[in-house]
Structure 1
Amino acid sequence: MHTIKFRYLAIGLGLFATSIPAFAQAPMTPAISTQPNNTPPTPVPATDPQAKALFTQTLDRYRALKSLSTVYERSGRKQLIEFYAPQSLKVSGLDSLGAVTSQTFYTDTEVISLRKPNDTYEWTTATRPPAADGKDARSRVATPATTGGPIFSSILAGIDPFADGGRYKATSYTLGTPTTVDGVAVTPVAITTEKSATQPFETTLTFVIGKQDGLIHSIETGIKLPNGREGKTAENFTAVKADAGLTEASFNFTAPEGATKVEQFSRAQVRAKVGELPLALPTGTKDIDGKDIVFEQFKGKVTLVDFWATWCGPCIAELPNVKANYDKYKGQGFDVLGISLDQTIPPLTKYIKDKEMPWRQVYDGYWDGPIATSFNVRAIPATILIGKDGKIAAVGARGDKLEPAIQAALAAQ
């Protein structure tokens, strides 16, 4: 067992997404979605002094925090963020059921990360450089390019992201209509920012601030690109608890029983082995037409279980190959079952119709969907080829390896 007590922690809650040429991998936070819009630039509203004052009060509230715990969610990805002033912080990845899947601690000297890429935990340590001269401990919470979101990380560190020299330059502050979110009375503050050479688009950030706790419950980002396309994202903060329940002991790291310290994490492997029966689909799985679906329905056929998404470039590039093999071998007993990791159903159903994909599809609901989680799918496209006997014939067959795998499975007795 390895236990470390963290008295100094520096974490940046920034944005990043991971990708490699052959696969689309599970990102911490996906890119902003955009849609065409040919409307002219939106006039910048005048600043409301009350709006600016409320945002300043919110900054002061965060600067005075002794501790904070909140669940951060964006595009279906969840993290439990726990902070203890001035610099202790722990970020835990959560699955769709709220179970912890990973943890990261950032200290003034090192980063310690715990993950479960396959069936056992692994953990790593990495040295961090010292804080820059003249910077206090809390400011290091805003170190960029780690997790959570650059705006929130700055605010948690007590830094105004709109101050001179900050990430954005505000051009106006306006109050929105007070409302209620999840039973919490809130007031929105919309802040427009100035375009620049490094940010050539209009941006409006709306902070939804609790009336009672003075804390942020969501951050909505709207952009308008030079080509007229518009996009938006929403970062939500739930289960917000300030100055309650956390102590220094909450930030001790203890490696789980059986965990292994490694130089780098193992690559996640799809949970499927050739010659074995596949894991059963979760109880109640239905296709997008609402029909129950189980693997037993495909027995006697060779079936390609294809994990994919309409937003996944490598998946779309592989689609002609899948369609060609489907058309060529469907008469010989070959079938396809698509497992979509799209974030919503409408893009999926439209794409299936437009591309004339006749095989059955299951909407799993992004990376933490029950099927992707069960099969440990962390990069797509991912494929499992099931033989006529119901056992796995191949894992990862795609490209020029797909057709030979299908032929071999069809020929097997």
Structure 2
Amino acid sequence: MRGESEVPFSDDGFKIPVAERVKRLPPYLFGKINKLKYEKRVAGIDVIDLGMGNPTDPPDPLIVEKMTEAVSDPRNHRYSVANGIANLRKEVTARYWKRYGVRLDPDSEVVTCIGSKEGFSHLCLALMGPGDTAIVPSPSFPVHVYAVMLAAGNVIELDCREPDQFLSNIAYTCEHLYPKPRVVVVNFPHNPSATVIEQDFYVELVRLARKYSFMVISDFAYADICFDGYKAPSFLATPGATEVGVEFTTMSKGYSMAGWRIGFCSGNSEMVRALSTIKGYYDYGLFQPVQIAAIVAMRHCDAAVDSIAAEYQQRRDAFCGGLERLGWEIERPKAGMFVWAKIPEPWSEMGSIDFAMKLLDEGGVAVSPGRGFGEDGEGYLRMAIVENSQRLRQAVKQIGKCLKSEEISAE
């Protein structure tokens, strides 16, 4: 017989009571597009995928050769250390000094991450809890919002496409919110909008951080991909930055090592220590051959990084030029691997998700709808220039044909 304290099974099976943090996550807005993309590919239809910032270029052969050599050494197959091997952390500090004139302590101000996305998420766990608030840039790269939510924090999204106004809104929020925000996240060059800033932006941000006692997390993922002579400034190059915050960098973009999953958190020693503590409980460190290959990459492959940036600039020009000829309003990005494009008339009323579905279903081109990056992204598309120039020109042709046929049918 069943005791009175037992919970009976429902007619439709056992119910799994997932955690509240999972229930707080909204439905995945890219789900419909990914499903259609998968169905088309299974059917043998060629889809030009500009939806994800997933580099298609291979790493420099020297990096691959070092990886192969390191994998052949049986000593490298043991658990590594959670914060990264010492020589790799030293190489990160050397690169910061060479590129930005920033001095860092490799033992206390750098930690290796399994990609910057993992590091950012675990840092939110280390810094935030119930009732804490983070200001994040909008339109928002999803992890900037959901990592805070998974840490039980609250999110305030502020439009960052006008950087001076973004700073003013940060100050206004700090003045009028109680308790004041605990963390401010910045991401320049920005994903998805490709907005860029100059060093004076960070000077003011550090001043605000001191005044209102918030911590800064700079997501500097697109540091290496800059165009037309623009050089993205590092937050850590600002006087006083290491007193108030940290910066995440990654080898995914400039070194074309996205699948290798290697990034770094550098800056304030207490924030780095907090992240290292969390990682000590969650993982045993990155596969050591990847770390060894990353050392060689940073020491010897600067020319390859410059070459990758030049390649992305050529792709940008090919793709944007084609869209401009179709009549699209395009602001050519100065950095990053995305074109942030306003949906042209007369299709703007469709909404970005439906328009993206149209381009995929009828044009065979997958893009990311701006709505997937929050309300401020509605009316725009994010298109990754990860394919070669010829393939991007073909994407433009297919987009043009798709929209032209719609115009003809309307007539």
The structure with the largest helix share of the pair is: 2
Greater RCO (Cα-Cα under 8 Å, separation 6 or more): 2
Q: Normalising by the residue count of structure 1, what TM-score does the alignment of the two structures yield?
A: 0.25
Q: Normalising by the residue count of structure 2, what TM-score does the alignment of the two structures yield?
A: 0.25
The structure with the largest strand share of the pair is: 1
